[in-house]
Amino acid sequence: MTDEGFDVIVIGGGGAGLAAAATAAELGASVLLFESERELGGSTQLSAGLFTAAGTSVQAALGIEDTPQRFFQHYMDLNQWLLGPGLIAAFCENAGPTLEWLLGLGVEVPAKVSANAHMPGLCQAGVEDVWRGHVPRDQGYGLVQVLAKAVRDRGVEVVLNTRVQRLLTENRRVCGVVADDLEVRASAVVVASGGFAQDGELLARYYPAALRAGEDLFVVAAEGSRGDHLRFGEEVGASVAGDGWGLMLPTAYFQRLHHWQSGFPPKSRVYVDATGRRVMDEDASYAVSTGIIEAHGGFVWAIFDERARRTLPPGYAHWDADHVAAEADAGRTVRAGTLAGLAAEIGVPAGTLEATVRRWNGQLPHGRDDDFQRHRTLANKGSQENPEPIDDAPFYAARVLPAELVCTHAGLEINAGAAVLDERGEVIPGLFAAGEAGAGVLGQRYVGGGNAVANALTMGRIAGRNAATTQR
């Protein structure tokens, strides 16, 4: 620190903040990082650490040809070109180099095929034709440990348990922050304070779709996701992007924890809407599954049978044989001796539900799903055995809806250099943002597991680089 303060202040010690701080310090900047909680990590630490990137050494080692341009095309198409192409091009071009930087710091992503976000390696992140989901060893916790070490090794000053209260400005330029009622000055400030999933009022204003889940809503994002970035943005007239968007995962109404603890629904199940017809690949990536359910009235019924309930693997909190039986005993999960009886209870045409299950029994239990191609998804997840038919009474119906709130996308609008823009679209001098706090990369459609961690670390690195070279 000089008499004038620091070169860079970073607000938030999750993925974006740690990447920004380490990068700025690498370039020789003096860096101070504030973290509101008692430990570093934020949502990044809770995540699987899955990282989407194209043209990486991990893909190359597996013989996979991919380019940032191809990633860009997929990203823009899935988001219906509602995002800024310049920003997305910068993200797609820098995600690969950011992954290589992480590998250089000590993050391990083995060059082997992974069936899911829990097995280190390369997995299918979403609905991309070329696999781009990089799963690191020790998941988000591992990423944060490596980044925290990089930050320490580069001399970043880290202050825990201190929530930044506001930004300092001078002649429209951001020149520091206030924390613990003390003013600390810097040439540049990076806002990396995560999202607002824990703040009900901000959800109502910027992501009301999350509240449609009503009492089924549960939030898995970190405690520190209080939306301070939006309050900072208001102080300086920042433009807000990503309004109305976030990631809600489809879950059974009775889940209250991320699936690692809640467990997984039985493989032998079909999702039907109010017509009684099957509407989707039940294992579809959440790049598309939430959108499909919303297009079918906001929820679907998971239909399964007694054998599926009984053979649920033990050890999980909610998708567990006893828990499902208890839900049925309480009348919240519907149970009936026949499919016609089940249909009557949930208010769908009995003949249609019977036909749906008959068609299922004739297809995927024999290895192919002509209607929804679920055999492909199951194969990509490494599933060895075909699902069973649904024919063992009693039958069950449980509501599945987007109810698990993972992250929010509304934040301070940034340009390709992670500089924050004002409402006229001009750069606010001295202010950068990244991760959930810096908006524009995370769109209406989550491009796949790994989209948000890649955004946080890639844009965090860009923010750190540009903040370090900002002159007062």
Is residue 368 near ligand FAD by the rule CB under 6 A?
A: no
Residue 217 CA neighbour count, 13 Å, CB half = 20
Rounded to a whole number of angstroms, the minimum distance from the CB of residue 57 to ligand FAD is: 20
Q: For ligand FAD, which is the closer residue by CB, 76 or 287?
A: 287
With CB under 6 A as the contact rule, the residue among 114, 225, 458, 466 that binds ligand FAD is 225
Chain position whose Cβ is nearest to ligand FAD = 14
Q: For ligand FAD, which is the closer residue by CB, 98 or 333?
A: 98
Q: Give me the 428-457 binding string for ligand FAD, x by CB under 6 A, dash otherwise.
A: -------xxx-----------xxxxxx-x-
Is residue 258 near ligand FAD by the rule CB under 6 A?
A: yes
Preceding amide of 394 cis, omega within 30 = yes
Is residue 49 near ligand FAD by the rule CB under 6 A?
A: yes
Rounded to a whole number of angstroms, the minimum distance from the CB of residue 223 to ligand FAD is: 7
Other C-beta atoms within 10 Å of 289: how many?
22
With CB under 6 A as the contact rule, the residue among 66, 216, 228, 273 that binds ligand FAD is 228
Q: For ligand FAD, which is the closer residue by CB, 15 or 440?
A: 15
**Largest pairwise CA distance in the chain:** 78
Q: For ligand FAD, which is the closer residue by CB, 260 or 365?
A: 260
With CB under 6 A as the contact rule, the residue among 406, 412, 462, 468 that binds ligand FAD is 406
With CB under 6 A as the contact rule, the residue among 7, 8, 9, 13 that binds ligand FAD is 13
Rounded to a whole number of angstroms, the minimum distance from the CB of residue 282 to ligand FAD is: 21
Q: Give me the 184-203 binding string for ligand FAD, x by CB under 6 A, dash otherwise.
A: --------xxx---------
Of 7-15, 166-174, 326-334, 385-393, the window that binds ligand FAD (rule: CB under 6 A) is 7-15
| Residues between 134 and 163 with contacts to ligand FAD, criterion CB under 6 A | 163
Cβ–Cβ under 8 Å, residues 32 and 190:
no
Q: For ligand FAD, which is the closer residue by CB, 429 or 450?
A: 450
Q: Give me the 28-47 binding string for ligand FAD, x by CB under 6 A, dash otherwise.
A: ------xxxx---xxxx-xx
| Residues between 87 and 126 with contacts to ligand FAD, criterion CB under 6 A | 117
- Residues binding ligand FAD (CB under 6 A): 11-17, 34-37, 41-44, 46-50, 117, 163-164, 192-194, 220-222, 224-226, 228, 258, 406-407, 435-437, 449-454, 456
